[in-house]
Amino acid sequence: MIITARPTLARMLAAGIALGSAAAAAAPPTATPTAPPAGPLPALIPREAFFGPPDRTGPRISPDGERLAYLAPHGGVQNVWVQTIGAHDARPVTWSTKRPIRRCWWAANGEQILYRQDADGDENHHLYAVDLDGDPAHDLTPMDGVQARLVAVDRDHPDEILVAVNDRTPRAHDVWRIDTRSGEGTRVLENTRGYTRFLADATLTVRVASRTTTDGGEVVHLRDGEAEPWYELVRWGLDEAESSRPLGISRDGGTVYLLDARTSDTSRLYAYTDGPDGPSYARIAGDERADVARVLFDPGTRRPQAVAFDHARRRWRFLDGGVFADWATLRRVADGEPSIVSRDRDDGRWVVAFERDDGPIAYYLYERAAREATFLFVERPPLAVASLAKMEPVTITARDGLPLVSYLTKPIGSTGPVPMVLLVHGGPWARNRWGYHPVHQWLTNRGYAVLSVNFRGSTGFGKRHLNAGNRQWSGRMHDDLIDAVNWAVSEGVADPDRVAIMGTSYGGYATLVGLTVTPEFFAAGVDIVGPSHVPTLLDSIPPYWEPIRARFDARVGTAADGDLLEMISPLNYVHAIRRPLLIGHGRNDPRVKEDQSRQIVVAMQSRGLPVTYVLFPDEGHGFRRPANRMAFYAITEAFLAQHLGGRFEPIGEAVDASSARLEAGGELIPGL
């Protein structure tokens, strides 16, 4: 059975169609949810294994190659730990009691750890330094209401870093040079041009800066030194800007590396050099199917050694014969795709991650001279022995012929149509990738197939794919999702009467579009921090996003486009909703304000439509605290089981252990 998609909002309004009645008339028959087909499903894996804090993660090797810093729980909250390699002396060096630390770096002096942290999800991240002698961490950017971004750390400047801070004006980040030991800083670049990217050379001098142009493109400026004037290096239009950007500067300062999509559909790696014979712009590597996904730079010379392209799976092209030989060795070490996550100053020791689709990430210490790898740890040990499902890359053809690289995970042992969750990525200028995905594995373990689609507007697949999504919110971007579900039904993967849509940020918006534009198509929807009214979304973006507003105008739309922004706003079509809806939001979300969810909840309640709304007062754009994640996913799996018929772990005390506030519809969820 193939489900026919309902017309999009813009087409409906152009034709004068009443959304609710037309959609209902064309809807497929509904069915009472039943359990998935009997089969050898593995044991129910506790939510804690998927969404609790990882045992250890994010390892970074010290500059001298003797110690590891990594993130692990302390007092139930993710903190930074340090241990000597080969010893049993691991100890925490930070003591956060509420907000988990998500990433850390070694200072170049090897005696301090750097990390960023915000307050309850407000994204005003401050940059901290902690000495390894046991002293408390000190805030390197102690200004109120600012956001700090690490720009550069270099081995030749052990006690100094460059940090971008929007302390002078919320709209623009200036660059500061800060002493990590004393905390003293000097403003070295006053950002009066609205730059949004900075690159520094090995002397910690900002040499490259780029900004968004009035048409949504990007211009890159270069200077030869701190006292030298800026001049234009390259300019990209809207079509190329999302795929193109400056990447790095060689240690000798003579070469700038950039991703550039002006002369091809996909981005390619280029090197700009202004030598004695004049400037040159040389292409280094490219792929016809995918943009450059990652470039591996030599930490000594700061020149590229390998380039990765990620179409359905990641593929590397090696520029350095030594690294190629290392990779051949690493391929034999463990299952999964290797990836270098950290290197010491001499580049003799690497920390390598091995990523699988059906198991947690495993980390190894690799000794380059001996070509030997030693196991360090896996992120989530309980999942290393659990039965997890394989993720299958599939390419689905949209109705207009556009190929959509997608990822399907099916329950172990399933042999016929099962309930399915369409999991929509955020952004929308982002993408899905192959690998271990906790939500895929959690839902598959509960008996659902999970499908993630790189719909038009997703990044990584070239300009045509990205720009096909311009001004197509709720239009062809939604058609792609419908086409993907129809494919899953036609392939015998999905039961057409038991398909839910779920996503975060843009994925939450797509959920609301799914329940309003195609109100009978999905059996249920889960919206996490999704916008419901596009005009107020764009009016309330964070001030430091103002320099890139032109890109939103070009890719989404503006008030000057007539009623477009209203036409693509699900809030205006609440009356069409026919299916159950679960919404979660963080009160402090700076990107999608909390009233984006509250206003659609109020509108549904005023019409007597059932909706469950869960608010987290100590979260922002997504749920970072493990207790909050587990609470929302506990509610979600009970909700999905109620409407799709899958398995679920009882909610138990999960909600009580979190900050969740049930603002509406708690009585609609079993066990809540």
Instruction: List, by residue number, the catalytic residues.
Output: 505, 589, 621
Q: 611: which 2 tokens? A: 């909706």
DSSP string for 59-83: EEE-TTSSEEEEEEEETTEEEEEEE
Q: What is the DSSP letter of 589?
A: -
One-letter amino acid of 82: V
Q: 501: which 2 tokens? A: 């849509």
Distance of CA 315 to the CA centre of its chain: 20
292 by DSSP, 3-state: which? strand
Q: Using CA atoms, how far apart are residues 82 and 131, in angstroms rounded to an integer?
A: 11
Q: Do β-strands 372-378 and 362-367 pair in parallel, antiparallel, or remain unpaired?
A: antiparallel
Q: Using CA atoms, how far apart are residues 376 and 150, in angstroms rounded to an integer?
A: 28
Bond preceding residue 393 cis, omega within 30 of 0: no
At residue 10, φ and ψ (nearest 5 deg) are -60, -40
Output b/e per residue, 201-236; b: 16+ Cβ within 10 A.
Answer: bbebbbbbbbbbbeebbbbbbbbeeeeeeeeebbbb
Q: Using CA atoms, how far apart are residues 124 and 138, in angstroms rounded to an integer?
A: 16
| Cβ atoms 15, 23 nearer than 8 A | no
Q: Which of 115, 119, 118, 126 is nearest to 93 (CA)?
A: 115
Show the beta-strand stretches assigned E in 48-142: 57-61, 67-74, 77-84, 91-92, 104-106, 112-117, 126-131, 138-139
What H or E segment, with its residue span, contains residue 242?
Answer: none
Q: 597: which 2 tokens? A: 């969810």
Furthest-apart CA atoms within the chain: distance in Å: 75
Q: What is the DSSP letter of 99?
A: S
Output b/e per residue, 149-172; b: 16+ Cβ within 10 A.
Answer: bbbbbbeebbebbbbbbbbeeeeb
